[in-house]
Amino acid sequence: MSIAIVWFRHDLRLADNAALHRACSEHAGVVPLYVHAPQEEGDWSPGAASRWWLHHALQALDGALQQHHGSLHIREGESLQVLLDVVKESGADAVYWNRLYEPAAIARDMHIKAALRERGVAVHSFGSALWQEPWQLATQEGQPYRVFTPFWRKLRTLIDEAEPLPVPSSLHVAPVKRGLKLANLGLLPTIPWDKGMQEAWTPGEQGAHAMLELFADDAVGDYAAARDVPARHGTSRLSPHLHFGEITPRQIHHELAALLRTRSAKHRPDIEPYLRELGWREFAHHLLYHFPKTPTENFNPRFAGFPWACDDDAQLRRWQQGRTGIPLVDAGMRELWHTGWMHNRVRMIVASFLTKNLRLHWHHGARWFWDTLVDADLANNTLGWQWVAGCGADAAPYFRIFNPVSQAQKFDPKAIYLRRWLPELAASSDALVHEPWKDATLLKRSGYPLPMVDLGESRHAALAAYQVARG
């Protein structure tokens, strides 16, 4: 009987999984394998929140495989060596995987592909995480896109409602000697700080589809307006599920398109604004693939000489802990710490505060997000930070500086989001929750800090620094 290994990475699902599907159709049995090798992810091995998610996602995948009378085979070590060992132990003659787009993963996979083929093991890789592979889209001049709108215009024409692949009907898990227990990977925190994440999330393929259903029933029709309101559950919250490959853009599109067909024209929600956001995810991967140095280097070389403020650990810690004295910034940073996620508008605001009002380098923010986000994703995080800092592709101009007070007054006028995350201010009037420094007694009673910078002065200082950098 012919056996193949399916090497699971960021594709922790059974449905719409191109590698798994093909392996099952071409072989009598498969070994579903996960190799824990964080050292192979270069400077970007998973942060603490991602490790938490990964543990639960692997557990869910194992549960799904058990329904097919198998289990997930877990190993630890150097991926190539593990693959060679499992080839030998199982008698497999082929390895299947879905592609990744992070620079370290690309280099490793190319090396592994060549090494396996040299030893007579067939290798098949697939695109399964994106609508289009990053090299499939190019400008008329044959160059990578650097601007989102033409990228999206092109990509949108290529998206169809094709049926996603089902869970393979011929999924037979081949026996192989016992692997590691998931608990032995040590992915969960030793001090239990994950209560908020447990309450907020259900990692795994089923959890992803439940989240999509909730969004489709409840929010997709109002997405264009509700996506900016942090107090509402107005976005899909699929980002960690997408990052770990528990659901694909194709499945999301297919399910939303099916929903449209059930509604009369009058009640049909407009899903285009939502698809466009998924387009940003594709754009981020396109950029990371074509410009692999951007996780650490400014996309725009004109920022090379930008006068960032000197590193200041105390300031950075206040931002990280949600103790800046600016309510919307603090609410966002506490939401992040508690749930591993932060609303997109608030991400932009806390990032603008760090890089413009405090003028600390965007690297500090990107690193903190990397460790604390359950959806930490090298492509999306790099794009997000460079966009806000003004040095990215198609970025917000540096001189556009968010005012976190007027943003809160506009998008959280009744201070619902602020009260949720700043309980020490909750009993005050809406106006004071937005500007607590206007009442010295409130600050004294609540222990909420004075703003660590003057928003107006720091804004002027940032603009002056920008003029210097422009020369």
Ligand X SMILES: Cc1cc2nc3c(=O)[nH]c(=O)nc-3n(C[C@H](O)[C@H](O)[C@H](O)COP(=O)(O)OP(=O)(O)OC[C@H]3O[C@@H](n4cnc5c(N)ncnc54)[C@H](O)[C@@H]3O)c2cc1C
Laid out side by side, the sheet with 29-36 consists of 73-76, 29-36, 3-8, 94-98, 122-126
Among 27, 55, 209, 281, binds ligand X (CB under 6 A): 281
User: Given candidates 173, 229, 278, 422, which one binds ligand X under the rule CB under 6 A?
Assistant: 278
Choose, from 319, 385, 387, 421, the residue flagged as catalytic: 385
Asked whether position 212 contacts ligand X by CB under 6 A, the answer is no
344 counts as catalytic: yes
Q: Which two tokens mark 238?
A: 């699929």
Helices (H), 340-434: 344-352, 362-372, 378-389, 404-411, 416-421, 430-434
Q: Applying CB under 6 A, which part among 58-66, 102-110, 265-273, 347-355 lies near ligand X?
A: 347-355
Considering only residues 100, 130, 373, 433, which one is a binding residue for ligand X as defined by CB under 6 A?
373
Task: State yes or no: residue 347 binds ligand X (CB under 6 A).
Answer: yes
The CB-of-276 to ligand X minimum distance in angstroms stands at: 9
* CA–CA separation, 12 and 242 (whole Å): 10
- b vs e for 163-176, b when ≥16 Cβ sit within 10 Å of the residue's Cβ? ebbebbeebebbeb
Smallest distance from ligand X to CB 97, Å: 21
The Cα–Cα gap between 405 and 350 comes to: 12
Q: Residue from 62, 102, 375, 394 that binds ligand X (CB under 6 A)?
A: 375
Least distance to ligand X from the beta carbon of 448, Å?
Answer: 25
Q: Mask of contacts with ligand X, 376-405, x by CB under 6 A?
A: xx--xx-xxx--x-----------------
CB of 369 to ligand X, least distance (A): 6
Alpha-carbon span 254 to 436, nearest angstrom: 47
Among 8, 97, 280, 291, binds ligand X (CB under 6 A): 280
Give catalytic status of residue 98 as yes or no: no
Cα-based distances in Å from 89 to 5, 24, 41, 93: 11, 19, 26, 11
Least separation, in Å, of the C-beta of 440 and ligand X?
Answer: 33
Site for ligand X contains 339 (CB under 6 A)? no
> In terms of Cα–Cα distance, which of 357, 358, 328 is closest to 419?
328
Cβ 31 to ligand X, closest distance in Å?
Answer: 30
Closest CA to 385 of 467, 297, 452, 471: 297
Report the amino acid identity of residue 382. T
Kindly report the backbone phi and psi dihedral angles of residue 5, in degrees, each rounded to the nearest multiple of 5, phi listed first.
-95, 135
430's tokens: 């809406």
As measured in angstroms, the least distance from the Cβ of 46 to ligand X is 12
Q: Is 308 a catalytic residue?
A: yes
Between 63 and 150, name the residue whose CB sits nearer to ligand X: 150
Query: Alpha-carbon distance 87 to 79, whole Å?
Result: 12
Show contacts with ligand X in window 283-302 (CB under 6 A).
284
209 is an interface residue for ligand X by CB under 6 A:
no
| Shortest reach from residue 307's CB to ligand X, in Å | 21
Residues 216-245 that bind ligand X (CB under 6 A): 227, 235-239, 242-243
DSSP code of residue 448: P
* 3-state helix, strand and coil shares in percent for the chain, rounded to the nearest 5: 55, 5, 40
Q: What is the DSSP string of 52-112?
A: HHHHHHHHHHHHHHHTTT---EEEES-HHHHHHHHHHHHT--EEEEE---SHHHHHHHHHH
Residue type present at position 149: T
Q: Of 40, 297, 300, 308, which residue is the catalytic one?
A: 308
Please confirm, yes or no, whether 205 is among the known catalytic residues.
no
Count of residues that bind ligand X according to CB under 6 A: 28
Q: CA of 248: how far to CAs of 170, 192, 254, 255, 262, in Å?
A: 21, 31, 10, 11, 22
The first and second tokens of residue 57, run together, are 């996602």
Choose between 92 and 333: whose C-beta lies nearer to ligand X: 333
Q: CB under 8 Å to 156, separation ≥6 — which residues?
A: 275, 279
Residue nearest to ligand X (CB): 384
* SS3 call for 239: helix
Q: Note whether 128 binds ligand X by CB under 6 A.
A: no
Q: According to the binding rule CB under 6 A, does residue 318 interact with ligand X?
A: no
- 369 versus 411: smaller Cβ distance to ligand X: 369
Give, as ranges, the residues between 258 and 277 that touch ligand X (CB under 6 A): 277
Among residues 40, 300, 344, 435, the one annotated as catalytic is 344
Q: Which of 76, 277, 297, 435 is catalytic?
A: 277
State the catalytic residue, choosing from 201, 280, 387, 421: 280
CB of 381 vs ligand X, minimal distance in Å: 3
Stretch that binds ligand X, among 48-56, 120-128, 293-301, 341-349 (CB under 6 A): 341-349
Site stretch for ligand X (CB under 6 A), options 200-208, 312-320, 369-377, 392-400: 369-377
Does 205 engage in binding with ligand X (CB under 6 A)? no
String of DSSP letters for 450-461: PPSS-HHHHHHH
Chain positions contacting ligand X, by CB under 6 A: 227, 235-239, 242-243, 277-278, 280-281, 284, 344, 347-348, 351, 369, 373, 375-377, 380-381, 383-385, 388
Where in the sequence numbering do the catalytic residues fall? 277, 280, 308, 344, 362, 385
